[in-house]
């Protein structure tokens, strides 16, 4: 069976650096950080004092207050990003095509804020005061469900939950749906709203979060002084479309999706495989899926969390996959600016990778002052770089040993 070609025709974003794609992209191109003091919850309770929070977001710009009250914040972010992406794609969903347009939207954690609030209601006021919307607000698939309902997309509707690999797995699996002919378009990506007391307490307890109190320097991937990731929130959503369908309706095309790889470490619940082999297999699969040689890749948007082992082992994996070419690659971590959006990270980083191709500019890794010895690649330190990008790779790795990689290509007719 001939594989159908798949392209990106729309993008939407709610991030700590902007409440749309244009603002988010301009911020990361200019090295602007979205990290600030932790204010959504009481920072005095926690070792971590900073977070990358979404600012000035109003869900009532997208849906009614009545409807919004029946949804968790992670679903709010997904709806806003999905509506922007579909509008950007100028994709009309109607009775004629609705069954051929699907939604594949993931969340690593889901409605943690709802969970905490309703448990408080239960313990303080009794079971009758638990909301009847508690379960449908909390479950991670509800972002996909609500986006489908709101936009009228009646094709495959599903949700991936693979921790910090969620957004990349979602886009990769949606890519395969179109490639095999089961949909003409997919609304796909990731969303997360994890800045809650319980989630932050958990990440603090397992020492994953940075305890650097300075917002401007806390997220510092590949730097020798890195000490953990900065928790972040938001959503990144793309419209993937079968090429002929996109061309027939005159859609603009950002980039082509050509490869997807996914693997399991089978090693540890939180730590990556100590030889980087899981990340290696994921990248190798994406290249093989696309039929592309490693030497063709120009840019890698790294997972780059600013944790000691992740940055070191991703670097090791890149060196092993790309060999001599690894030192010629531009590699950057936009998490240095957005923080780590967990299940949404792969969604926004797919957008940044496609825009790097479209605009011939690679975003930087900021706060890279003293590059760690074990991190020996070109991480585009502190300033964006103008360069031609024909192929861009995006990596995401998650708790549970989940690894996912997407390969994007400059679109050519």
Q: Which residues are catalytic?
A: 164
On whether the CB atoms of residues 392 and 160 are closer than 8 A, the answer is: no
Which has the closest alpha carbon to 350: 7, 4, 5, 2?
7
Burial 32-65 (b: 16+ CB within 10 A, else e): ebbbbebebbebeebbbbbbbbbeebebeebbee
CA distances from 296 to 101, 223, 288, 390, 408 (A): 32, 27, 12, 8, 11
On whether the CB atoms of residues 31 and 366 are closer than 8 A, the answer is: yes
Question: Counting beta carbons within 10 angstroms of the beta carbon of residue 413, is it exposed (0 to 12), middle (13 to 18) or buried (19 or more)?
Answer: exposed
On whether the CB atoms of residues 380 and 334 are closer than 8 A, the answer is: no
* Backbone phi and psi for residue 108, each to the nearest 5 degrees, phi listed first: -70, -35
β-strands 101-106, 185-192: how paired? parallel
What's the rounded Cα separation, in Å, for the pair 286 and 275? 19
Which has the closest alpha carbon to 13: 30, 32, 26?
26
Q: What is the CA radius of gyration of the chain?
A: 20
Other beta carbons less than 10 A from residue 281's beta carbon: 20
């Amino acid at each position: 069976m001939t594989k159908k070609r798949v392209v990106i025709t729309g993008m939407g974003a709610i991030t700590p650096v902007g409440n749309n794609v244009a603002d988010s992209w301009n911020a990361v191109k200019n090295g602007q950080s979205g990290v600030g003091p932790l204010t959504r919850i009481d920072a005095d309770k926690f070792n971590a004092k900073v977070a990358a929070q979404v600012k000035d977001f109003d869900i009532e710009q997208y849906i009614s207050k009545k409807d919004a009250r029946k949804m968790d914040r992670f679903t709010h972010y997904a709806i806003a990003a999905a509506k922007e992406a579909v509008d950007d794609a100028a994709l009309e969903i109607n009775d004629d095509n609705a069954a051929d347009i699907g939604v594949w939207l993931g969340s690593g954690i889901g409605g943690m804020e709802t969970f905490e609030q309703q448990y408080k209601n239960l313990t303080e006021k009794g079971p009758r005061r638990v909301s009847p919307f508690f379960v449908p607000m909390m479950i991670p698939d509800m972002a996909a469900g609500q986006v489908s309902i709101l936009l009228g997309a009646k094709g495959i509707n599903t949700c991936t939950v693979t921790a910090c690999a969620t957004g990349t797995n979602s886009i990769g699996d949606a890519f395969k749906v179109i490639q095999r002919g089961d949909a003409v378009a997919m609304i796909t990506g990731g969303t997360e709203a994890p800045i809650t007391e319980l989630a932050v307490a958990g990440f603090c307890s397992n020492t994953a979060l940075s305890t650097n109190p300075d917002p401007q320097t806390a997220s510092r991937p590949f730097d020798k002084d890195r000490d953990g990731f900065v928790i972040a929130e938001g959503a990144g959503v793309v419209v993937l479309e079968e090429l002929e369908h996109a061309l027939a309706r005159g859609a603009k095309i950002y980039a082509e999706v050509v490869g997807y790889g996914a693997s399991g470490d089978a090693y540890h619940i939180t730590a990556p495989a100590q030889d980087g082999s899981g990340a290696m297999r994921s990248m190798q699969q994406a290249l093989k899926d696309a039929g592309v040689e490693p030497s063709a890749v120009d840019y890698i948007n790294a997972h780059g969390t600013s944790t000691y082992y992740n940055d070191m082992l991703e670097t090791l994996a890149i060196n092993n996959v790309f060999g001599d070419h690894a030192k010629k690659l531009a590699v950057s971590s936009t998490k240095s600016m957005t923080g780590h959006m967990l299940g949404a990270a792969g969604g926004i980083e797919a957008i940044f990778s496609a825009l790097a191709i479209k605009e011939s500019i690679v975003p930087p890794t900021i706060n890279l002052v003293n590059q760690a010895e074990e991190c020996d690649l070109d991480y585009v330190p502190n300033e964006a770089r103008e360069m031609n990008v024909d192929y861009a790779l995006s990596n995401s790795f998650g708790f549970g040993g989940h690894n996912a990689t997407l390969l994007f290509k400059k679109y050519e007719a």
